[in-house]
Amino acid sequence: MKNITVIGAGTMGNGIAHVFAQHNFKVTLVDISEKALENGIKTIRRNLDRMVQKETLSEEQLKSTLDNLTTSTDLQNAAANADLVVEAASENLDIKLNIFKDLDNICPPDTILATNTSSISITQIGAVTQRPDKVIGMHFMNPVPIMKLVEIIRGYSTSDTTANTIMELSLNLGKTPTEVNDYPGFVSNRILMPMINEAIETLYNGVAGVEEIDTVMKLGMAHPMGPLQLADFIGLDVCLSILHVLYDGFKNPKYAPCPLLTNMVMAGKLGVKSGEGFYDYSESRKAEKVASQFKRA
């Protein structure tokens, strides 16, 4: 298994492509947008440069990683000879189902089709293909080059051969694969998203402010990042989508999204990627912080 196709050049997709390329796989990064591909490669290059500066990667390894990467907007050509395809497109069921239908027609019969979905049923995705035994969940954590966990999710029809291959492959990437069953949210988001949603409810009910809630969880529970800051980092729209999947899947009111989260997403306050969520990430805010530092000095 040497030829890897990664679909989606966003945060997760470029991170997954980075890790495979760094471990000597030939990787084609695919997106419908040339601009997204350019930004994805820039991000990979920036992260590699940072690794060189920290002396965790040599200049030779940086060059070989970049040499292992190609980009394409043509899924037909990019996936035609792939041994493995990892889909990292938007967390949207219809988009994923359409991609997997196309992949099933494009890819050789032995190609394994993996999805980086953080909540959507692997069984449902596999069912739209003629190879459900070769469809599997491969849920990387963000930031992909740093985080060790890969949540491996079998669909109802995923074969032992496919699961074992992906477990071994994850180990070869320097990751720690952990196999879980195919239920909404799997393990990671079934636990994480209700916590984030409860933090938003706590803010919504006026119990405490944003920084106070995050401080309690960071200092009191030893979390490296508070739940509201983490929600901004994930993307509030992604959090909302996952909560909808959980609520629809379990029909349990504890998974119902907080109205504040719903309103923020409708208002376009999506977190880091939009420049504002529970915190302000805009350029003007950054300038204010720099100015205040100079004043204190």
- Express each pLDDT in 97-138 by its tens digit: 999 999 999 999 999 999 999 999 999 999 999 999 999 999
Distances (CA, A) of 293 to 91, 288, 296: 39, 9, 5
91 annotated to bind ligand: yes
Identify the structural domains of the chain with CATH numbers, from first to last: 3-181 (3.40.50.720), 190-291 (1.10.1040.10)
Top pLDDT among 285 and 112 is at: 112
Q: What is the pLDDT of residue 286?
A: 56
23 contact partners, CB below 8 Å, separation of at least 6? 172, 173, 174
Mean pLDDT of the 148-155 span: 98
8 annotated to bind ligand: yes
218 annotated to bind ligand: no
H/E run at residue 115: strand 112-115
- Reference 11, options 110, 187, 111, 143; nearest CA is 143
If you write DSSP's letter for every residue of 52-78 in order, what string do you get? Answer: HHTTSS-HHHHHHHHHTEEEES-HHHH
12 annotated to bind ligand: yes
Q: Name the residue type at position 292.
A: S
Structure tokens at 224: 């490296």
- Report the predicted TM-score, pTM, of the whole model to 2 decimal places: 0.89
Task: Note the helical H segments in the chain.
Answer: 11-22, 34-53, 59-67, 75-79, 93-106, 122-126, 160-172, 188-204, 210-215, 221, 227-234, 236-250, 259-266, 283-296
CB of 226 closer than 8 Å to CB of 214:
yes
Mean pLDDT of the 234-244 span: 95
Rounded Cα gap, residues 114 and 165, in angstroms: 12
- Reference 5, options 69, 62, 61; nearest CA is 69
Predicted confidence band at 291 (pLDDT cuts at 50, 70, 90)?
very low
Predicted confidence band at 290 (pLDDT cuts at 50, 70, 90)?
very low
What φ, ψ does residue 142 adopt, rounded to 5°?
A: -100, 130
Q: What is the pLDDT of residue 96?
A: 97
31 annotated to bind ligand: yes
Q: What are the tens digits of pLDDT across the range 84-97?
A: 999 999 889 999 99
Q: Indicate which residues carry an active-site annotation.
A: 118, 139, 151, 189
Structure tokens at 67: 């040499």
13 annotated to bind ligand: yes
Q: What is the pLDDT of residue 199?
A: 98
